[in-house]
Amino acid sequence: MTLSTPTKRAFLGAALACCALLPAPGQAQAQAQAAYPSKPIKFIVPVPAGGAADAMARMIAEHLQTKWGQPVVVDNRPGAGSSVGMAVVAKAAPDGYTIGMGNVAANAINPAVRPEAFPYDPVKDFAAISMVGITPLILVVNPQKVPAQTLPEFIAYLKANPGKLTYGSSGAGSALHIGMELFLQKTGTSMVHVPYKGSAPMLTDLIGGQVDASMDAAATSWPQVQSGKLRALGVSTAKPAFFAPDLPPIGQTVKGFEMNPWHGVMAPAGTPQAIVDKLSKEIQAYLRLPDTEAKLRERGVVPVGSNAAEFSRTLREEAAMYRKLVSDAGIKGE
């Protein structure tokens, strides 16, 4: 059937009118971002349930869910020093519906230790949203297995028993692993490394005496120190921690030792800036609430709450710093 010229014109006019009702691609994207979130958000936590990072993520998830009326589902994906979970985040669709709790191990230390076999670029494959907090490490020992009462005594004990003691970590290349290796390197001592798939199972074995010591996150180990199940010998930060003002910094005895492990919320690279900024603004506001700060400090976390630009800059600086630090110390992946 051949359409007459007037009919063609009418058909074309109707088609153009329909197209005019459809938003342009850029406009559609802007509308989708403005409506964010319109469905559940998955929050990847690259460590087992029960640790400091898991607690922080669940607090933030509960707040966002209450604030925005959409489920925020925490999904624990532990393994390989947090790189298993963060690889999931890096490869997810950059639409704001998959975020992750990045950390210094997964986004700075691990890539420096195993650069040739890493599943993602620790900086380029992520959009930094907000640093949540710093979790100081404390050097802890099993009081039944290790007689040392102070850090100098512990160093002397290690030198008298080279390679005979064990230490646990949350995995090869984790902050706990690197922290202890730096301590051993700077003190000229040696211990046997026993890696675990997270801090929680390691802590269970440390309390039970299956391993002798650890450079563990204060958030999980300090309560065990207070209960008498572990003995603390020093803290990784340059100054005494707020939760233990009498616990000396390791750097006072071991020159040049300092670590400030951080945790922060990230999204896949390419996530629209409007969504990144919306998440960052809401998380920052939540972290500044007095009740939130109190809850984090109860878990041994120093609240930060940086904006996206600040966190992105820190991420780049930390990645570069640990590349140099790991190289200088000669630390290799296991």
Alpha-carbon span 81 to 215, nearest angstrom: 15
Question: Long-range pairs for 248-252 at CB < 8 Å and ≥24 separation?
Answer: 248/151, 250/139, 250/151, 250/183
Q: So what's the pLDDT on residue 243?
A: 87
- For the domain spanning 137-252, the CATH number is 3.40.190.10
Using alpha carbons only, give the angle 259, 165, 212 rounded to the nearest 5 degrees.
Answer: 70
pLDDT averaged over the chain? Answer: 89
32: confidence class by pLDDT, cuts 50, 70, 90: low
Give the mean model confidence (pLDDT) for residues 48-54: 84
| Buried b / exposed e along 79-101 (16+ C-beta atoms within 10 A) | ebbbbbbbbbbbebebbbbbbbb
Contact 155, 186 (CB under 8 A): no
pLDDT cut 90: percent of the chain above it: 63
- Tell me the CATH number of domain 39-134+261-329, given options 3.40.50.460, 3.40.190.150, 3.30.420.40, 3.40.1550.10: 3.40.190.150
Give me the phi and psi of 106, to 5 degrees please: -70, -30
Look at the pTM and tell me if it is higher than 0.85: no
Alpha-carbon span 151 to 19, nearest angstrom: 74
Least confident span in 154-168, 256-270, 317-331: 317-331
Q: So what's the pLDDT on residue 61?
A: 98
Q: So what's the pLDDT on residue 304?
A: 93
Residue 2 has pLDDT above 60, yes or no: no
Contact 195, 169 (CB under 8 A): yes
Per-residue pLDDT tens over the stretch 281-326? 999 999 999 999 999 988 888 899 999 999 999 999 989 988 887 8
Q: So what's the pLDDT on residue 224?
A: 95
Q: So what's the pLDDT on residue 63?
A: 97
Least confident span in 15-19, 318-322, 328-332: 15-19
Give the mean model confidence (pLDDT) for residues 173-197: 90
Q: So what's the pLDDT on residue 4?
A: 56
Alpha-carbon span 85 to 87, nearest angstrom: 5
For the chain, where do the domains classified as CATH 3.40.190.150 start and end? 39-134+261-329
Alpha-carbon span 27 to 4, nearest angstrom: 36
- Per-residue tokens: 303: 């609240």
Nearest to 85 by CA among 207, 263, 227, 249: 263
The 3-class secondary structure across the chain, one letter per residue, is CCCCHHHHHHHHHHHHHHHHHCCCHHHHHHHHHHCCCCCCEEEEECCCCCCHHHHHHHHHHHHHHHHHCCCEEEEECCCHHHHHHHHHHHHCCCCCCEEEEEEHHHHHHHHHHCHHHCCCCCCCCEEEEEEEEECCEEEEECCCCCCCCCHHHHHHHHHHCCCCCEEEECCCCCHHHHHHHHHHHHHCCCCEEEECCCHHHHHHHHHHCCCCEEEEEHHHHHHHHHCCCCEEEEECCCCCECCECCCCEHHHCCCCCCCCCEEEEEEECCCCHHHHHHHHHHHHHHHCCHHHHHHHHHCCCEECCCCHHHHHHHHHHHHHHHHHHHHHHCCCCC
Give the mean model confidence (pLDDT) for residues 95-116: 91
Q: So what's the pLDDT on residue 22?
A: 55
Give the mean model confidence (pLDDT) for residues 39-66: 93
Check residues 297 and 94 and name the one with the higher pLDDT: 94
Give me the phi and psi of 188, to 5 degrees please: 65, 35
Tell me which range, 170-179, 212-221, 256-265, 268-277, is most confidently predicted by mean pLDDT: 268-277
Per-residue pLDDT tens over the stretch 203-248? 999 999 999 999 998 878 888 999 999 999 999 988 898 889 999 9
Give the mean model confidence (pLDDT) for residues 151-166: 98
Give me the phi and psi of 137, to 5 degrees please: -95, 145
Q: Using the Cα atoms of residue 303, residue 305, residue 310 and residue 315 in order, give the sign of their dihedral.
A: positive
Per-residue pLDDT tens over the stretch 136-156? 999 999 999 999 999 999 999
Q: So what's the pLDDT on residue 41?
A: 98
For the chain, where do the domains classified as CATH 3.40.190.10 start and end? 137-252
118: confidence class by pLDDT, cuts 50, 70, 90: confident
Q: So what's the pLDDT on residue 292?
A: 96
